[in-house]
Structure 1
Amino acid sequence: MQQESPQTAEHTPSSRDSRQASPAVDEDDVSAKITRKSHRKSRAGCKNCKTRRIKCDETKPYCANCKRRQVQCIYLNSPYSTSHDPSPQQDTPQDPNLLPISEIELTHYWTTTTSYSLSTRPAGALSWQALTMTVGLSHPHLLHLIFAFTALHLASCRPSQRDSYTAKSNKHYDIALSLLTPALANLNPNNCDAVLLSVQLVCFIHWARGPLPGEYLAFANTNNNPDSSTAAKSEWLLMFRGIRTTLESLDRGSFQKTHEPATRAKGLPLPLSSLNEPTGYETQLSSLREHVEFISDPIDRDDNIKAVDILVEMYDNRYTGKDAEYHVVFGWLYRMSDSFLARLERKDAVPLVLFAHFVVLIWDLERFWYMKGWTWHVMGGIWGALGDEDRAWVKWCMASVGWIEP
């Protein structure tokens, strides 16, 4: 090792000598360093905000960002937590001997209340109540969707605890989707009933979360590029069409009849006094058929006429007491061709006008907690997507549901 030359040692003061020569300056430096350290960056944000690299307000049990995005908010234990973190006992693992009270509550409410809101028929309600839970015990994705849907029901019934129940719903929904995705990829006779029920519940959960800006069930206005030739996709329609995909991917004999919508038993007619029958729907639909036949492009005419004819069938089922199930009206969307639904997603005029007449049938469904607010929301989206000339053909629809243009 080379030794420092005497000349250098003599004429170059060491850092130690410098500190001794100017103690006042050193004290200020030390104080400044201590002050800077006391403003250490917090690392107690939630997992989602860390992943997205955005500022987290660290509100618990869910931060503002996760609440706005309606996703599960997860806080990880961190050795760098600040003094604002919760007390240690909050991060202590729960006693394994404690009962899962939250899941017990959701199971009880599903069995006694929520399942009965899914059908107007006692037999249909009992099917959702017991058979669905039985299938769910063997297929956890269905069980978690039951919990997610029930938590949203509790959130609507108990406004003071809405945020807590919504967070529980989001947690179970995220878990369910992670389990349902591989099941869909491996659809077979052993899991098809559970998958079919899960896909149906996903649609119900989407309704129960309430209307979202730009989402109108069968079309959307969420495309960030207005000049794009690609139509914005409706998340709900994608999930709803998953029901048909599930049914068509296997032979019908693979499904139990209690779980297959197309083979569901019919019940007693609905009392007409309980229905909001639109005035003169027969005359309106007859005029609509003539209009559609006249203005449709030749390539789309048969598809459009078929859509009107099925609408007439759905109106007759509802208002002449032929079918006791409110949700049967969604058979209209279920039976539409892929090309018709693609034109609806593109917001072509004729499919939009026909969709507005379908929305009138949803009006009666607003008696169910999970459908509240959807009729006016969707009607407003249709009105905004139509031109002035075509809007004349949805005036009857607007009057039937009591929606007034803005």
Structure 2
Amino acid sequence: MHHFSTSAYLTLIDHSSLHQFWQVTVPAIAFSFDFLLHGILAFSALHLAHLRPNETDEWTILSRRHQSVAVTSFSSRLNDITNENVDPCLLYSCFVFMLETYSITTSSTAVLPRDISRSFILLQGVKGILSTAPGRWSSDGVLAPLLRRAVEPVFIPSKGFKAQIEALREIALPSEVTLICRNALDGLLTTFEAIAAPRSSYAYVWLWAITLPQAFLEFVSEHEPFALVLLAHYATLVRCFEHDRWYIQGWSARVLVAVQDALLESWKPWLEWPVQCIQSGLDVRKME
């Protein structure tokens, strides 16, 4: 816990106003809920594995032990989420997603589209937890500091990413996937505008992933071409934040390779733009 409160917590902050929240409030909550405590310790151990390459195996093993304890404890709470434990449950779910994301970036085996879908399903567990206490968590809960900086509506001039979205709209799709994939396309644009808005936050980049319907995630797992192309374009948004988030560094590249390996040859020309952005490390928010 010392490492978290002196070092690892800093990697979760993108606004100075959140220092107190992550350094003090979250650890204080964790000491009353063992699943969150072990989730934090698992995250901290992986951060040490990242910082100390010569000790990677040691810290990774320790992280897995903490994850195992946390999962066992958390599983017993899933059917009994109350006003008293909704905040730690939500925080733990966030740590689980970060750990899963890191596992994708560091996997020694090929990452498959279904692995990406599975990680998004974990993130969507946050929605289920929030639904148990509608309204409370955003107003007077201890997590309120995370939500006080709403994205301000702003007109964003036409840019490279938006041009790509409009080009994708012109693709003719099979009737059975049209509605779901068109909605996912709209969601990509919404997420882009969120991360490009003034006073935005890193967390907004996951808006697309957390709002995708189960049917779209199944399309990704089944290698539906248009769904995979959208996933590759989404990876360009995440790429914007990889430089200062150790647990997602390389995520976009792994996702892109997964898409390239699964996509039909006839669809691969649609990957040229995301390939250029990701391999060149371009920030699509700043592209004209």
For this structure pair, what is the TM-score category when the shorter chain's length is used for normalisation?
Answer: 0.7 to 0.9
In 1, the alpha carbon distance for the partners of 2:193 and 2:38 equals 37
Distance of aligned partners of 1:317 and 1:200 in 2 relative to their CA distance in 1, 3 Å threshold: same
The answer as to 2:277 corresponding to 1:400 is yes
Distance of aligned partners of 1:238 and 1:268 in 2 relative to their CA distance in 1, 3 Å threshold: closer
The aligned runs of 1:1-400 (5 Å cut-off) are 107-209=1-103, 210-212=105-107, 213-216=109-112, 219-220=114-115, 234-248=117-131, 250-255=132-137, 257=139, 264-266=147-149, 280-291=160-171, 295-319=172-196, 321-367=197-243, 368-400=245-277
Asked whether the equivalents of residues 116 and 126 of structure 1 are also in contact (C-alpha less than 8 Å), the reply is: no
2:284 alignment partner in structure 1: none
Quick check: which has more Rg, 1 or 2? Answer: 1
Residue 183 of structure 1 aligns to a residue whose secondary structure is coil
CA drift of 1:267 comes to: 7.4
Asked whether the equivalents of residues 140 and 176 of structure 1 are also in contact (C-alpha less than 8 Å), the reply is: yes
Distance of aligned partners of 1:156 and 1:349 in 2 relative to their CA distance in 1, 3 Å threshold: same
In 2, the alpha carbon distance for the partners of 1:171 and 1:266 equals 36
Amino acid of the structure 1 residue aligned with 2:127? R
Asked whether the equivalents of residues 120 and 326 of structure 1 are also in contact (C-alpha less than 8 Å), the reply is: yes
In 2, the alpha carbon distance for the partners of 1:168 and 1:398 equals 36
Identify the structure with the greater helix proportion. Answer: 2
Higher deviation after alignment, 204-213 or 146-155: 204-213
Q: CA offsets, 1:48-93, max 9 Å, x none?
A: xxxxxxxxxxxxxxxxxxxxxxxxxxxxxxxxxxxxxxxxxxxxxx
In 2, the alpha carbon distance for the partners of 1:374 and 1:259 equals 30
Residue 184 of structure 1 aligns to a residue whose secondary structure is coil
Asked whether the equivalents of residues 316 and 322 of structure 1 are also in contact (C-alpha less than 8 Å), the reply is: no
Distance of aligned partners of 1:396 and 1:304 in 2 relative to their CA distance in 1, 3 Å threshold: same
Distance of aligned partners of 1:262 and 1:280 in 2 relative to their CA distance in 1, 3 Å threshold: farther
Residue 352 of structure 1 aligns to a residue whose secondary structure is helix
CA drift of 1:364 comes to: 1.7
In 1, the alpha carbon distance for the partners of 2:150 and 2:98 equals 22
Distance of aligned partners of 1:356 and 1:323 in 2 relative to their CA distance in 1, 3 Å threshold: farther
In 2, the alpha carbon distance for the partners of 1:132 and 1:256 equals 16
TM-score between both structures, scaled by the size of structure 2? 0.85
Identical columns (%): 23
RMSD between aligned residues? 2.5
Structure 1 residue runs of 5 or longer lacking an equivalent are 1-106, 221-232, 270-278
| Bigger relative contact order, structure 1 or 2 (CA pairs below 8 A, ≥6 apart) | 2
1:87 alignment partner in structure 2: none
Distance of aligned partners of 1:188 and 1:124 in 2 relative to their CA distance in 1, 3 Å threshold: same
Structure 2 residue runs of 5 or longer lacking an equivalent are 153-158, 281-288
CA drift of 1:370 comes to: 0.9
CA drift of 1:299 comes to: 4.0
Asked whether the equivalents of residues 82 and 133 of structure 2 are also in contact (C-alpha less than 8 Å), the reply is: no
CA drift of 1:234 comes to: 4.6
Aligned residues: 270
Higher deviation after alignment, 374-383 or 164-173: 164-173
In 2, the alpha carbon distance for the partners of 1:197 and 1:173 equals 14
Residue 219 of structure 1 aligns to a residue whose secondary structure is helix
Q: CA offsets, 1:313-355, max 9 Å, x none?
A: 2222333x33421231110111122222222222211111111
CA drift of 1:239 comes to: 1.6
Asked whether the equivalents of residues 117 and 217 of structure 2 are also in contact (C-alpha less than 8 Å), the reply is: no
In 2, the alpha carbon distance for the partners of 1:111 and 1:263 equals 18
CA drift of 1:260 comes to: 5.9
